[in-house]
Structure formats: structure tokens, C-alpha cells
Chain A
Amino acid sequence: MKTLIQKLTQTPGPSGFEQEIRKVICEEVSPLSKSVQVDTMGNLIVRVGQKSAGGLRVMIAAHMDEIGVIVSHVEKKGFVRFSNLGSYFPRYLAGSRVHFLNGTRGVINHDRPEDLSKIPGVEKFLIDVGATSDKDCPVKVGDVGVFDREFLDMGNRIASKALDDRISCAVLIETIRNIKSTPNELVFVFSTQEEVGSRGAQTAAYAIEADLGIALDVTPTGDILGVKMQTHLGDGPAIKVRDMGMISDPQVVNWMVAAAKKLKIKYQLEVLEVGTTDARSMQLVRAGMLAGALSIPCRYVHSPSEVVDMEDVALTVKLLTALLSERIQL
């Protein structure tokens, strides 16, 4: 699975420009489903199983997009100014490298701040792509890129850029591979534009009209001093109770907890005080939908080196496979 995760995390796909990562995922899922489609917003939609008596139509979403940059100006001196695609902390930027979709690579730094003890805002940062002027600059306004950081195998734990949310894309692919039979109509959505506001999942959810929606995403951990959060790396899949955008349907939470207990796998409950997931878009679509989320604990979210635990990942696949293979009674 590490090989798949490495491939998924190292393929660029900033919000709104997911074509390359979509192609990679498409190659993985095409042998596993007769119905693989791309919709208006660029979501990749993979259908598995038919709804039989007592079965539900379930939408399962993991987002393909990652945080990135979009060029806003090329200076006469050749420096590239940019705006953010998705949100991140400027403190991660200085010294980072960028990989543009057109192949150009560059390094990030910033104007000298008046107060060296303060981190400047994104607008003060620049990308140096080796150009000497705007004339020989290989990128132009509107070009997009992602942070460049290689996959690092640390044994049971791995680090990479874009584990948010390619780790969940990997979980979905493995789950599709593992499901032998199901009474449910499963609609897996590799969604777009989550990092800019769960936009792809919103329109996909409208079109799919599912009975139940589940988002797979990463969640920050409380391992670090000063972070008040119960979720810990290595303590198993996190069953979301609430975040800033959604309160999971309690029936969905109970269903997930019962399944984890039945499988005798460790799990943890997640209460997240910042951020939200595609589950919010699903819950609020049309006349509303039953919704919940499974989260994979992840350290240093939205930095170029995010860290997850491989056992958490494997257990998430196991739990999700079990949840989707059975008749769902809510």
C-alpha cells in the first residue's frame, strides 16, 4: 500500500486542477468498476454494487485536491508572486519548494520584513524559478503548482506532502478492492476543490442523491504540546462526532462505533474545533442527508511534511470495508 500512497501523494493536483491525480486514480479504479465517470466539477465518480432489498445508496467521498499556489504576477526582476489555493500557514513557506503543473520548479522566500520576529503574510512571499526577468520566466499569471516534498518511509509511519487527502484516496481504492459483495449501491467520489470549500462534493452530492454520506479525510492530532485534542496518531481510525462545519448524525456515529467494536479494532472519537470536510456539503445538500465521517489521524496537516501511521490507515480500510459490505440499519 505504501507504493500506492507514494504514487498518489507525489502526483500534483492543486484545487481546481486535479487532472493528473484524477488520471492516476482512474487507472487504479478502472479495473475494479464498470462505471467510472467525471462530472462538471471534475469529480471522479466510481460506482460499485447494486441496491438490493434493504440496501442504501451511499456516497463515500475523499478529496483528490491538495493545497497549492496560483501565480498572480511576474515581476520585472523575474520573481513570481502568488496567491494560495486552499489555506495554509505562511510559516511553512520560506525555504519550501514548488512544483508547477507545467514542470517548472522553484523555491519560496519572502521580502525582508520590517520586524524579523514576525512571519509575513502570503502576499509578501515570492517564488524564485531561476528567471532573470519577466521575459524569461517559465510561468505566467494563472499557472498553478503544489509544494514539492518527497515521500519519506519511516517504517510504521510515513511522511509526505498531500497526505491530506491522498491517504483517504488510497483508503477508498483499497476498500473498493476489498469489497467482495454488498447489498448497497456504493458511489465513491474522488472529489475536487475541497480545500477551497468542499465545492466538488457539493455538486456531486446533489447529482447522486444518496441516502447516506461518508467523508474520508485526515484530522489533526493532539500529540503536540499545546494542542487540546483527544485524537492521537496510532490510536486507530477517528470516528467524527463534530467539527466546525458539521455535527455527524448520531446514528451514523453509533453505527461506526458498533462496527469497530464488532471487528475488535481500536478506534477513537473525534471532536475537531477547526475545519470541516466534504461531509458538510453532503449533509446539507437538497433536503438533507444522513452524514458522518471517518478520519485518519495526521500530524502537521497543511505542511509540506504530513505524517500518518500505517496501522491507522490499515484499520480504516478494514472498518470502512466492513461498514459498506453489510446491510446498514440506521
Chain B
Amino acid sequence: MNKTSSPSFKISKTNLALLQRLSNASGISGDEGEIRAIIRQEITPYVDEIKVDAMGNLLALKHAKIKNPVKVLVASHMDEVGFMIVDDDGDGLFVFEVVGGVDARQLLAKMVTVGKEKLPGIIGAKPIHLLESGEIHDVVKTHAMRIDVGPANSSRVKVGDYAAFATRFHQNGTSITGKALDDRLGVAGLIELVRHVPENVEFMAAFTVQEEIGLRGARVAAFAFQPDFAIALDSTPAIDLPRPDGEENTQYNCRLGGGPAIYLADAGTLSDPRLVRFLTALAEKHGIPYQYRQPGGGGTDAGSLHKTGAGIPTISISVPGRYAHTAIMMAQIPDWENTLRLLIAALQNISREILAVDRS
């Protein structure tokens, strides 16, 4: 692998086809099996060891070809936000709870798929002409909504079944839309990254479970691997639309088209400043567009990774995506491509010398 190959990486039709498969597949937190099966099939030829741990994380190792290599863990979460059936109201109507952070205001009149059989269902809404005075201003709570699969399929749904948004993936020029791009962009990216690992790196790929409900899978994955460095590869919201009042948008989190979003601080992690400097310098050197995600709330698997054992120098890099945690997201192919370029460059240049100076 030559040192200048990273900026030349391009997202291929194969990459997009895999992203489409992953986006359309269902993998609500705690039920990641369908995603895991796709990943296993895709990466098996490119890794030396592969296993599924007690939590359901898919852990893959690609061994270095040298002694005492630098050990790098990259984690992307397989799970997505969705629903769980919690009660049967009869006639195909089911009470549900959300799994992960979902805004109830965007759930009405959405199509979902229920259970392993992917039975079609809808979260119904009351028609506007039947709303009572003032009702239009009320936020309908999740417990007042139902997933309606119709009487015919009623007996095929049971309490405990998961449900996912039914959105299908589309590409429109450089834009891609679909559900669960958070974090299938990361998953498909990590599958690609496995093929670009240089010989001096012991590479640890963690496809994690249960990120959306508290970074649970990453916690045990990092303990199993004990890497020198950890990187969480995720997708972060771009809230970059103009403000309705015309004032400057000061809380955009990150911007679509701005390149990979490098994390400085979120609710769970203060990125290791040595890795912030390392990635920034690499992006500058290779002319890869990048942006800093605005410091603030939110979090990624890094929140678990960096506190593992005696501590792991950790950072997050995310692909910007609009409308995260809703039925449909939008992302830009160049952002995804530049994220992978930066990560490929990082793998080619990472070394323990980064840690020769004390953290900040």
C-alpha cells in the first residue's frame, strides 16, 4: 500500500449496492442478526479471524505482517433506532415502544415492517378534517399510537417483536436517502476499510450492537481487543438548514458536503487531542475536506471505547447526515468518500509515536 493512495479512493457502485442492502435490512438495537449476516458474508474473505461475542458484536481481526504492530480498533454500530411491540389490542392493532432516541412527532403516518417476516404495518394518524378544535397543536404521544398490520396478519405478530421503518434506499446524483444511514454508512465504510489495512497495523473491526440504547456493545468489544487506538466511525446529524428567521444558524452540528466530521467533544467523550491533531494534519496534507463537529451533546461508541481498561486514546469520525433518527435520512456520497479517504490515510500513518507527548 503506498503512502499516497488514500486520496484516490472512490466510492464504487459495489459500495453503494452494499450500502443499499444494509440500509434496507432491519437491525433494531438488540436484534442486529440480519445486519451481522450481511457483514460476515462481505468481510470473511478479507480478515484472518472473525467471531461473534456474547453481546452479539461481530469482531474481526486482520493481522499485521510485522512484530509488535500498532493495534487499531475501528467501531461502527450495526443497530438502528426502531420499535418493539409491547401489547396486542386485537384486530391487528399493536401498542409499541420506541427503541433508541426517536421523536414521536415524526412517527404518525409512517410505514413500518414488523418482525422477522417483515409484515407491512403503518403507524396511523387521525385525518385532519376530524381533528377537534386545538387538537392539531397537540403532540401525540407514542403510547397513544398503534402499529396497524390489519386483521389478516394479526396472529403473526407477537409481543416482543421488533419493527423498523419501511423506507427504501434511493440514490439521486450525489445524494443518497434511506433509513438507518446512521450507522450503515459506518458499517459499509468499515467493511471497505478492512481492504485497505497496511501490513504494519493489527486491525480490529468491531461491528457493535446496542449503540443507540447506551453504547453497550462497544464497551465489551474494546475490552476484548485492548487496542492502542480506537476510532468510532459513525454518522452525525447535519442540522445545517437555513433558519426561518434569516439569522445565522449557529447550531448546525455539522454541514452536509463539508466532509468528514471530526469530533472534539460530545456528551460522552473528549476526543484525544493528539488524534484530533493527527487527523487534522492528515486531512490538510492530502487535501481531504473535513469539518469539526460542533462540540456539544450526543455521543458515539467512543464514549465506551475510551474508558475501557486503563484508557484508550480515542476519537470519532462521522459522515454527516440530515434527518437522523427519523424514517428517512439524506447524505452525500462525497462526504462518505472523504471520510473513508481520511481513515485510509490514518491507517497508513498511525503509530505509537503519536503518544510520545502527554495528552493535551
A81 contacts the other chain (CB 8 A)? yes
Please give me the residue from chain B that is nearest to A81 by CB atom: B250
Whether B359 pairs with A41 at a CB distance below 8 angstroms is yes
Once the chains are docked, how many angstroms separate the CA of A42 from the CA of B276? 16
Flag whether B175 is at the interface (Cβ < 8 A). Answer: no
Residue contact A70 to B360, C-beta cutoff 8 Å:
no
Tell whether A72 pairs with B294 under 8 Å between CB atoms, given A142-B276, A193-B270.
yes
Question: Taking the nearest CB of chain A, how far is it from the CB of B303, in angstroms?
Answer: 9
Q: Chain A, interface size: which category?
A: 35 or more
The 3 A-B residue pairs with the shortest CB-CB distance in the complex, in nearest-first order: A16-B270, A203-B311, A207-B310
For B249, the closest partner residue in chain A by CB is A73
A-binding residues in B (CB < 8 A):
248, 250-252, 264-265, 268, 270, 273, 276, 292, 294-297, 306-313, 355, 358-360
CB distance from B181 to the nearest CB of A (A): 24
Interface residues in A206-239 by Cβ distance below 8 A to B read 206-207
Pairwise interchain contact B294-A73, C-beta atoms closer than 8 A: yes
Q: Is B270 in contact with A196, judged by CB distance below 8 angstroms?
A: yes
**Complex CA–CA separation, A19 to B265 (angstroms):** 17
Is A40 within 8 A of B360, CB to CB?
Answer: no
A142 touches B307 (CB 8 A): no
A40 and B265 contact, CB distance less than 8 A: no
Residues of A participating in the B interface, judged by any CB pair closer than 8 Å: 15-19, 22, 38-42, 70-73, 75-77, 81-83, 85, 123, 141-142, 192-193, 196-197, 199, 202-204, 206-207
Q: Quick check: B358 and A42 within 8 Å, CB to CB?
A: yes
The answer on a CB contact under 8 Å between A83 and B296 is yes
Given contacts A40-B311, A73-B251, A199-B307, contact A17 B273 (CB under 8 A): yes
Further pairs besides A40-B355, A72-B251: 11, Cβ < 8 Å: A16-B265, A17-B273, A38-B358, A72-B294, A85-B265, A141-B294, A142-B295, A199-B306, A203-B307, A203-B308, A203-B310
Q: A76-B248, A142-B276 are in contact. Are A83 and B359 (CB under 8 A)?
A: no
Q: What's the nearest-Cβ distance from chain A to residue B245, in Å?
A: 12
Contact (Cβ within 8 A) B360 A18: yes
A207 to B276, CA, bound (A): 25
B276, closest chain A residue (CB):
A142
A207 vs B273: C-alpha distance in the bound complex, in angstroms? 22
A294 CB → nearest B CB, Å: 25
